[in-house]
Amino acid sequence: MKLSTLITTIVAFAVMAAPAVAATNGKTLDAVKKRGNLRCQVSSPSGGFYNLDADGNWYGLDIAVCEAVAAAIFGDKNKKEIQVVATQQRYTALANGGSDLLCSTATNTMTRDTQLGVDFLQPNFYDGQGFTVLKSSGITSALQLKGAKVCVTSGTSSELNLADFSRVNNLNITAVTFDDWNVRDATYLKGGCDAVTVDKSSLAANKISFEHPADHLILPETISKEPLGPAVRQGDSQWAGIVKWSLYAMINAEELGVTSANVDDMRANSKDVNVRRLLGVEGALNKGLGLSKDWAYNIIKQVGNYGENYEKYIGSGKGALGIQRKGTLNELWTNGGLMYSPPMR
């Protein structure tokens, strides 16, 4: 789909809010099936997570979550509608029913999870906030930002973390806030701020896009925990289960060595009962989700496992962010990371 067909205005979300109430309390799946597509919410394009190619098609690690859910429901990852919603309106739009799923580098915090009418699920990326500065500034540590002006997006956890970091370390940082991260970065590049702060994955993506990336330095400090993951409206446990277990299926597939390339062979020939249950050869994992037996097979065949998507969009794939997975929290639990699926049995 082209970008022009994807952008949904806040007015449209308000109009959709009233009928969307009927889609909660166990009815979201029915509403999605009746509509014929899955509405996934993102913000302005963000490298590695949700971005547009030259033909106007969306791709990225968060888009893969959306595609996985679409594949699980329809057997077709392309039965999705990507909605672009401003950061400041994303939770309201989700809670009001304008979207079925939020997948836009959203940080799970206690207040968001308990006060905004949304439920956060399994993180698909563990991040942390940092700072980018010009190398010519001579700054090599965030603790040297005393009295600095720092560009940050308003209405985000990044803005709150910056205030906390400044207060705890007595740095008297002045936050220069922006609604649009493109304007934020442009202001930094023009010298309007001494630094820019956001999650480190976003810093890496933004640095790549700068005209002279080598002129900029991402400082070593990580000042926050940023578990990024999908969120859904509160009040529909079946729908939350579908989204949650779609991501778990991708993680579990990697652990079991099931990939988009070998999934057909594994489904036909594997004797591993865990693989057979995952791919719907035996057992009835689909029953509580209200999906077909091949729901997880469709995810892995069409979208791939978690590791495949990490490498493609975040790691070493063409155009990826170049953030290596080894030694990070985004490794499988078997390799010392936090990527972990509960038993699928």
**Whether residue 25 has pLDDT greater than 70:** no
Give the model's pLDDT for residue 67: 98
Q: Quick one: pLDDT at residue 84?
A: 95
Amino acid 147: pLDDT? 97
Residue 18 pLDDT more than 50? no
Average pLDDT, integer, range 242-270: 98
Average pLDDT, the chain: 92
> What's the whole-number mean pLDDT along residues 244-263?
98
| Whether residue 340 has pLDDT greater than 50 | yes
Give how far Cα 111 sits from Cα of 95, 118, 125, 159, 287, Å.
Answer: 14, 10, 20, 15, 33
Cβ atoms of 295 and 280 within 8 Å: the answer is: yes
What average pLDDT score do residues 315-324 get? 90
Out of 60-64, 208-212, 246-250, 332-336, pick the least confident.
Answer: 208-212
pLDDT at position 44 is 85
Strands 195-199 and 226-228: unpaired
CA–CA gap between residue 44 and residue 60 (Å, rounded) = 13
- Report the percentage of the chain scoring pLDDT > 70: 92
User: What span, in angstroms and rounded, lies between the C-alpha atoms of 274 and 256?
Assistant: 8
Is residue 64 scored above 70 in pLDDT? yes
Domains of the chain with CATH codes: 3-125+228-335 (3.40.190.10), 129-224 (3.40.190.10)
Mean pLDDT of 316-330: 91
Residue 21 has pLDDT above 90, yes or no: no
Q: Is the pLDDT of residue 34 over 90?
A: yes
Edge-first strand listing for the sheet containing 174-178: 174-178, 149-153, 195-199, 129-134, 216-218
pLDDT of residue 26: 62
pLDDT category of residue 24 using cuts at 50, 70 and 90: low
CB-based contact 284:276 (threshold 8 Å): no
User: Cα(144)–Cα(220) distance, rounded to whole angstroms?
Assistant: 12
- Span 105-145, pLDDT tens digits: 999 999 999 999 999 999 999 999 999 999 999 999 999 99
Distance of alpha carbon 39 from alpha carbon 304, whole angstroms: 21
| Global confidence as pTM | 0.87
Residue bearing tokens 């790549």 = 208
Read off the pLDDT of residues 200-226 as tens digits, 9 standing for 90 and up. 999 998 898 899 999 999 999 999 999
Could you give the residue ranges of the DSSP H alpha helices within the chain?
10-20, 28-35, 61-74, 90-95, 110-115, 157-168, 181-189, 200-209, 237-256, 263-269, 273-278, 295-302, 306-313
